[in-house]
Amino acid sequence: MVAALLLQFAIGAVYAWSVFGKALSNEDAMNLSTSEASLTFTVTIGMIFIGSYIGGKVQDRTGPRPVALTGGIVYALGCIVASFALSHDSSQLWLLVLGYGVISGFGLGYAYIVPIAMLQKWFPDKRGLITGLAVAGFGFGAVVTAPVAQWLIAMTPTEPNRAFLPLGIGYLVLAVVGASFFRNPPADYAVPGWKPASTGRTQDAYKQFTEKEALRSPQWYLLTAILTLNVTVGIALIAQAAASAKDIAGYSVAGAAALVGVLALFNGGGRIFWAWVSGFTGRMWAFALMLGLQGICLLIVPHASNAVLFFILAAVIYLCYGGGFGTMPATAGDFFGVKHAGAIYGLMIIGWSLGGIIGPPIIAALIGDGEVKNYTLGYTVIGIIALVSLIFPLITKMPKPKTSVAEAATVESAAVD
């Protein structure tokens, strides 16, 4: 678990990109436009799916350690490549996109799926909580990295990309140390006193779906849709958090920046909280609550002129956004088994990429670029999307069991090999 967190802290630093985006937009640095500054992050998010799908398939065949090591090293090397984009104009934007966007994004996805799949095999009795903890490390990575990155950038403000070099070396150390301890449990591994059929989710050990079998089931598409929608509505606020806090609730520029940093804690904490809650409420009810709470809060946000109320609403949205990442890996394990979890959930990560690409442009277009921004229209539309999305968790049911309850323990034992 500790080894998994070390790797997740390193690759989770990607959420600190806004620190670099702001610095690179300065006239004395690369003088990037808003769209140019966001291009690198967009490419990174898009590459995550490609990396996670390939990494998930490879780890199902080779085990977690070589995949995690490779992904962590590639991610760190991409950051180091980005550190050489030192031009004082946008002529080297391609190098930044190649290093941090393409290379680091692929390495991030390649490594991200590994601890999630591995830990479910070590902790089959605490599948929701353990995956929540694993992805919480990813969410907290930006909390740790953002102030360090800001400090490094301040040393050479006209060449902010220089900060990528020491950060890349730091990521390399964390990733290599953490991934070196990764391994699947032995074939005869069992949690003392725990039986799969006693968890209350009797599908846990019924059938270990292959990737092709999962893709032939409607449940895979329903779960991917739920993840996509949860990301879309949550990231809509995340993309506009600082500006919204300033314009709606009257935060100062410094106060809005501090608010974003604090909200990142809820992003990380939500991954643990909702994963834990889903063990009591059931996975689909947990997703229904996440989408419902986000919908209500998004409808109220544009009218939250009080700074405290705005913070509470934003914190709930961040909590639910992170909760989707904490709960979905365990949900996929419940539905399809853990033997091929790497490939199956690796494919579902397309929901992360789609939501990350769809949400920010929609909210930006609805709010507008004029002096008077239409936050009411933007957040009302996104809030309605969240509430309509409730239909998906409510209609999603477990695949029908393929083996008897008596055979369940045998199948689950084989799945950890």
Based on the domain organization, do 227 and 151 belong to the same domain? no
Based on the domain organization, do 159 and 303 belong to the same domain? no
Residue where one domain finishes, among candidates 185, 216, 240: 185
Q: How many CB atoms lie within 10 A of CB 133?
A: 22
Cα angle 74, 77, 79 (rounded to 5 degrees) comes to 115
Whether the Cβ atoms of residue 122 and residue 133 lie closer than 8 Å to each other: no
| 414 domain-assigned | no
- For residue 69, the model assigns a pLDDT of 95
The domain tally of the chain equals 2
Q: For residue 192, is it left (φ>0), alpha (ψ between -120 and 50) or beta?
A: beta
Q: How many CA atoms lie within 13 A of 388 on its CB side?
A: 10
Based on the domain organization, do 221 and 134 belong to the same domain? no
End-to-end CA distance of the chain: 19
Based on the domain organization, do 26 and 170 belong to the same domain? yes
Dig out the tokens for 386 from the structure: 């969240």
- For residue 409, the model assigns a pLDDT of 44
Greater confidence, 249 or 133?
A: 249
pTM above 0.85, yes or no: no
Torsion of CA 268, 270, 273, 279, to 10 degrees: -110
Whether the Cβ atoms of residue 72 and residue 176 lie closer than 8 Å to each other: yes
Whether the Cβ atoms of residue 402 and residue 383 lie closer than 8 Å to each other: no
Q: Greatest CA span in the chain, whole angstroms?
A: 69
Per residue in 334-369, pLDDT (tens digit) is: 898 877 777 788 789 889 888 888 888 888 888 886
Per residue in 167-216, pLDDT (tens digit) is: 999 999 999 999 999 998 888 888 887 665 433 344 444 578 888 898 99
Asked if the model's pLDDT at residue 375 lies above 60, the reply is yes
Whether the Cβ atoms of residue 366 and residue 375 lie closer than 8 Å to each other: no
| 314 domain-assigned | yes
CATH code at position 6 = 1.20.1250.20
| 223 domain-assigned | yes
Greater confidence, 373 or 254?
A: 373
| 409 domain-assigned | no
- For residue 402, the model assigns a pLDDT of 53
- For residue 195, the model assigns a pLDDT of 67
Based on the domain organization, do 150 and 68 belong to the same domain? yes
- For residue 44, the model assigns a pLDDT of 87
Based on the domain organization, do 277 and 231 belong to the same domain? yes
Q: For residue 104, is it left (φ>0), alpha (ψ between -120 and 50) or beta?
A: alpha
| 327 domain-assigned | yes
Work out the percent of the chain whose per-residue pLDDT is above 70.
92
Residue whose pair of structure tokens reads 């609730």 in the numeric block: 249
- Name the band, by pLDDT with cuts 50, 70 and 90, for residue 370: low
Separation between Cα atoms, residue 380 and residue 34, nearest integer Å: 24
Using DSSP, state whether 201 is helix, strand or coil. coil
Based on the domain organization, do 172 and 269 belong to the same domain? no
Whole domain around residue 218: which residue ranges? 208-400
Residues 6+ apart with CB under 8 A from 164: 79, 80, 82, 83, 99, 100
| 408 domain-assigned | no
pLDDT average, residue stretch 227-246: 89
Based on the domain organization, do 1 and 68 belong to the same domain? yes
| Closest CA relative to residue 395, chosen from 226, 231, 205 | 226
| 236 domain-assigned | yes
Dig out the tokens for 112 from the structure: 């991200």
Q: For residue 101, give the DSSP letter.
A: I
Based on the domain organization, do 133 and 43 belong to the same domain? yes
Based on the domain organization, do 268 and 225 belong to the same domain? yes
Based on the domain organization, do 217 and 181 belong to the same domain? no
Question: What backbone phi and psi angles, to 5 degrees, belong to 186?
Answer: -65, 160
Based on the domain organization, do 153 and 239 belong to the same domain? no
- For residue 197, the model assigns a pLDDT of 43
| 191 domain-assigned | no
